[in-house]
Amino acid sequence: MTTHTPPYRADHVGSLLRPVPVKEARRKFYEDKSISAEELKDVEDAAVTDVVKMQQNLGLKAVTDGELRRSFWHFDFMGALEGLDLEEREGEQGLQFHGATVRPIFPTITGKLDFPDDHPMLDHFKYLASVAKVTPKISIPGPSCCHFRVAKEDVHPKEYQDLEVLFADLARTYAKAVKAFYEAGCRYLQMDDIFFAYLCDPKIRTEKKAEGLDPDWLIDQYAKMMHDAIKDRPEDMLIGMHMCRGNFKSTWVAEGAYDPAADAVFNKTGVDIYFMEYDTDRAGGLEPLRLLPKGKKRVLPGFISTKVPDLEPLDDLKRKFDEAGKYADLDQLGIAPQCGFASTEEGNLITEDDQKRKLELVVKTAEAIWGEV
């Protein structure tokens, strides 16, 4: 393990395109039933080792397992919680993106929520740490996901009809997860809490109001959940949080500037490092960065897109950081892509070579602006 500790100037959100051997092995295991779980794991282990080497060779100081063992960035984690099941409902429509539809999988809360001692992602992290020569990072969905992504009619326990009871149990469940990952050796845990950004979208805000929910109250409740989940973490554990507006096969869901959520995100969650989508006009302006408190917190604006193969010119990226520096101290900034490269196993509409060039650009930009990664 290196002595360097996060936050770093150059980083990435976590997911990587699934290599062909992983796709084939998953098909053989889940669809054809022609290989064993151990054979699938062997293929995944080899692929994780390869993508870790790739990240390290590019100069990144934090590496992930690319989420190569997952089908979704969020559902795999959620489905392994106690009290939450994933239901496949043929004939029903999955999540609708602009130009694409996700498989019809519906998270359903069936009982009291808890984080199990044998959650599979603890072992995922341990394997990652065993092959990493720099800081291993794992990304999991934030606690708000277990509310926002579960339809009201799919919350079965009567006590969870009271949202404050549900949110308190989610915070407790995630606090247990944070402790378990720390005990597994994790010192850099990222929670993808994208629904802060979703709740900045005027259309989604209107939909929540139609459901009888005040979107601003919801933002504050989500911030409190995150705060309560991580407040007792040890001092040597850093928490990152990613926010975006949807990412599936290079498509998107939401739009709208961060203004409605910025104060809660920066000043009420207790998070250390923020990964913020900023690759299109859908994210609005950089003005919300003025609410980042002075100190050690860091924002990594996602000026580099994972949705398209075109490389952003370095001079353009420098100009964007000149603009960001008007609202936040440049010393509190870094660079990362706007999202992962494969929020689901289908992946974005780019190639592995495109992915590598994007990560190279992240490192090159950090070196050009801060002289370090």
**Domain boundaries of the chain, sorted by first residue:** 20-370
- The CA-based dihedral angle spanning residues 64, 65, 66, 70, taken in that order and rounded to the nearest 10 degrees: -130
pLDDT at 299 over 90: yes
Do 269 and 223 touch, CB atoms closer than 8 A? yes
pLDDT at 102 over 80: no
> pLDDT tens digits for 162-190?
999 999 999 999 999 999 999 999 999 99
Categorize the per-residue pLDDT at 251 as very low, low, confident or very high, splitting at 50, 70 and 90: confident
Tell which wins on pLDDT, 356 or 90: 356
- DSSP annotation string for 188-223: EEEEE-THHHHTTSHHHHHHHHHTT--HHHHHHHHH
pLDDT average, residue stretch 197-225: 97
Do 359 and 350 touch, CB atoms closer than 8 A? no
Q: H helices within the chain, ranges in order? A: 20-26, 37-58, 75-79, 120-131, 145-148, 163-183, 195-198, 202-210, 215-230, 259-267, 314-324, 352-370
| Sheet strands (E) in 213-352 | 238-243, 273-277, 298-302
Question: What is d(CA 336, CA 327) in angstroms, rounded to the nearest whole number?
Answer: 18
Categorize the per-residue pLDDT at 94 as very low, low, confident or very high, splitting at 50, 70 and 90: low
> pLDDT tens digits for 191-209?
999 999 999 999 999 999 9
Question: What is d(CA 68, CA 52) in angstroms, rounded to the nearest whole number?
Answer: 11
Per-residue confidence (pLDDT) for residue 206, from 0 to 100 = 96
Beta-carbon contacts of 269 under 8 Å, excluding residues fewer than 6 positions away, are: 223, 226, 227, 230, 241
pLDDT at 96 over 70: no
Question: Residue 302: how many CB atoms within 10 A of its CB?
Answer: 25
pLDDT average, residue stretch 228-240: 98
pLDDT average, residue stretch 19-43: 96
Categorize the per-residue pLDDT at 246 as very low, low, confident or very high, splitting at 50, 70 and 90: confident
Give CATH for domain 20-370.
Answer: 3.20.20.210
Per-residue confidence (pLDDT) for residue 254, from 0 to 100 = 82
Which range (63-67, 89-93, 205-209, 231-235) has the least confidence? 89-93
> pLDDT tens digits for 68-78?
999 999 999 99
Per-residue confidence (pLDDT) for residue 3, from 0 to 100 = 42
- The mean pLDDT of the chain is 94
Which range (235-239, 271-275, 297-301, 343-347) has the least confidence? 343-347
- The model's pTM is 0.94
